[in-house]
Amino acid sequence: MAADSSLEFLKSVKGVILDMCGVLYDSGEGGGRAIHGSVEAVKRLMDSGLMLRFCTNETQNTRERFVQKLRVMGFDISVSHVFSPAPAVVQILQKRHLRPHLLVHDDLIPEFDGVDTSSPNCVVIGDAAEKFSYQNLNEAFRVLIGLEKPVLFSLGRGRYYKETDGLKLDVGVYMKALEYACDVQAEVVGKPSSEFFKTVLNDMNLQPHEVVMVGDDLVNDVGGAQSCGMKGLQVRTGKYRPSDECDPSVRADAYVDDLSAAVDAILTNR
Amino acid sequence: MAADSSLEFLKSVKGVILDMCGVLYDSGEGGGRAIHGSVEAVKRLMDSGLMLRFCTNETQNTRERFVQKLRVMGFDISVSHVFSPAPAVVQILQKRHLRPHLLVHDDLIPEFDGVDTSSPNCVVIGDAAEKFSYQNLNEAFRVLIGLEKPVLFSLGRGRYYKETDGLKLDVGVYMKALEYACDVQAEVVGKPSSEFFKTVLNDMNLQPHEVVMVGDDLVNDVGGAQSCGMKGLQVRTGKYRPSDECDPSVRADAYVDDLSAAVDAILTNR
């Protein structure tokens, strides 16, 4: 690919952050499958000398299990390079001496090992899927409404996602439900929160303008990164829709067909 | 009770609308129990020559079963005098040729007898309680998101209510969830909707300023009635909280201890 003047902003890039689901792989039965060209594209980035980190709102697995799942698809990624909401909220809980009531997926529970969950004084919700029962939601609600000042953390704020058996409601929907029930505003941990992206930037030891985020989600990936001062590329895979390219509120710095094309653009224009 | 100058607004009253749960009875095991003095207070109103109607957001029973439940507690009320959201939404559905996907309590289903629910082009949610499962909510969501212009009806917009085994999330919470998921605004059928109160006024053939609403819910009963031009009395039973009397957004025309005191005030000052 020849250098493209509209991609001149890539000249100063020293680091890349990749969203995972919809960029590296499509989720589905048996854990999903790699998107064509992505395994090789990640390898090229790793060999390029650019800093590389991964940033996901995945909360149905611990990072260890998640990375293992990606390994099976052919991605060789270090757990320490993956940033997800659960470890981030654990840091916040410890810093603020909060004891959570957890409404999260069973497979995420090990991320909270060592966290005191007795006499909860806040609620943490993740993508709990089937665990979002009427009873479990009532329980989380009762904890919140019983607090003098309810504190609710939401691991991401997604509306819905696609699985092989159809669209599924995501954590943001249940966040809105509890917000209304308790007249409270949730603290979102994960994309598109700036705090979350800054943790990744700190780990890379880079300035925002030196980093480009590649994602399939216009609001959470591209918009979130841009709010931090980073550049945002949107790939036309995963949850991308053609209407994203004329969205009135968020405009990606560039649109590319897939991760392979994104890596071409980055390596050619840096 | 002597006539009270602050209650002079009751002079022009020709009709009364009573909220039911928290005014006539407290809900709970075995259907609940009558609030002290309420059975006799309803009788006095019926014998007073004032028009009397009942207005509830109850959606866990058909009106027939609901009135039967009240009969057991000692209230002798005619089904045709009870206004609830389900019959109101059925009228709207028929008028607008809409075929609903129903996410409502099993015991409410008979209210929709004769309503075409094939190839749904809208969603109706009520207080479905245990039926608010992740799977059922996903199903309702998929119907909505599959429509060119999603139409969502919510039978009331309550946040929560109290039962003997604790606080329970109400339909409004799930309305907010689906609103966020589909980026749509629900049409609320039931209190505090003005359309709903107007149906009751039409049935009484009275003007708004001739009618007083008595309820325990400051927003849905008192505020809703006032928005229509009616007067609103709040009783200090049911979900009443002392903080209601200094609420910044809604101020009742009077606060009284219970329905018995409300009827005293109305009959003495008219």
User: How do the domains of chain A map onto residue ranges?
Assistant: 5-84+191-269, 86-189
**Interstrand relation of A152-155 and A187-189 (parallel, antiparallel or unpaired):** parallel
Neighbours of B71 (CB within 10 A): 11
**Is residue B30 over pLDDT 80?**
no
Distance CA B216, CA B258 (A): 9
Whether residue A167 and residue B160 make contact (CB cut-off 8 A), yes or no, is no
Residue appearing with tokens 């710095």: A253
Q: Residue B175 in contact with residue B125, Cβ under 8 Å?
A: yes
Q: What are the strands, taking DSSP E only, across chain B?
A: 15-18, 25-26, 33-34, 51-55, 82-83, 100-103, 122-125, 152-155, 160-163, 166-169, 187-189, 211-215, 231-235, 254-256
Annotated binding site of B: 19-21, 56-57, 191, 216
Residue of A nearest to B182 (CA): A159
Tell me: the pLDDT tens digits for A228-257?
A: 999 999 999 998 989 999 999 999 999 999
Please indicate whether the domains covering B11-84+192-269 and B86-189 agree at the CATH topology level: yes
Six-digit token pair at B157? 């917009």
Distance CA A68, CA A19 (A): 17
pLDDT at B4: 72
Tell me: the pLDDT tens digits for A63-89?
A: 999 999 999 999 999 999 999 999 999
Q: Residue B210 in contact with residue B199, Cβ under 8 Å?
A: no
Distance CA A103, CA A134 (A): 12
Beta bridge partner(s), residue B168? B161
Distance CA B263, CA B212 (A): 11
Tell me: the pLDDT tens digits for B50-75?
A: 999 999 999 999 999 999 999 999 99
The domain over range A86-189 is classified in CATH as 3.40.50.1000: yes
Whether residue B176 and residue A174 make contact (CB cut-off 8 A), yes or no, is no
Annotated binding site of B for substrate: 19-21, 56-57, 191
Residues of chain B contacting residue A162, judged by C-beta atoms under 8 Å apart: none
Residues of chain A contacting residue B183, judged by C-beta atoms under 8 Å apart: 159
pLDDT at B60: 93
pLDDT at A3: 59
Whether residue A132 and residue B137 make contact (CB cut-off 8 A), yes or no, is yes
Whether residue B169 and residue A177 make contact (CB cut-off 8 A), yes or no, is yes
Whether residue A134 and residue B130 make contact (CB cut-off 8 A), yes or no, is yes
Whether residue A138 and residue B174 make contact (CB cut-off 8 A), yes or no, is no
Q: Which fold has domain A5-84+191-269?
A: Rossmann fold (3.40.50)
pLDDT at B157: 95
Cβ-in-10-Å burial (0-12, 13-18, 19+) of B11 comes to exposed
ipTM: 0.90
Neighbours of B155 (CB within 10 A): 28
CA B199, B200, B203, B206 dihedral sign is negative
Whether residue B160 and residue A141 make contact (CB cut-off 8 A), yes or no, is yes
**Is residue A4 over pLDDT 80?**
no
Q: Residue B263 in contact with residue B46, Cβ under 8 Å?
A: no
Distance CA B193, CA B57 (A): 11
Residue of B nearest to A143 (CA): B167
The domain over range B11-84+192-269 is classified in CATH as 3.10.28.10: no
Tell me: the pLDDT tens digits for A14-33?
A: 999 999 999 999 987 777 89
Distance CA B201, CA A77 (A): 67
Residue of B nearest to A163 (CA): B138
Residues of chain A contacting residue B176, judged by C-beta atoms under 8 Å apart: 176-177, 179-180
Distance CA A269, CA A1 (A): 9
pLDDT class for B25, splitting at 50, 70, 90?
very high
Under 8 Å CB-to-CB from A30, ≥6 apart: which residues?
Answer: none
Tell me: the pLDDT tens digits for A163-199?
A: 777 889 999 999 999 999 999 999 999 999 999 999 9
Distance CA A265, CA A50 (A): 13
Between chain A and chain B, the number of residue pairs with CB atoms below 8 A apart is 76
Annotated binding site of A for Mg(2+): 19, 21, 216
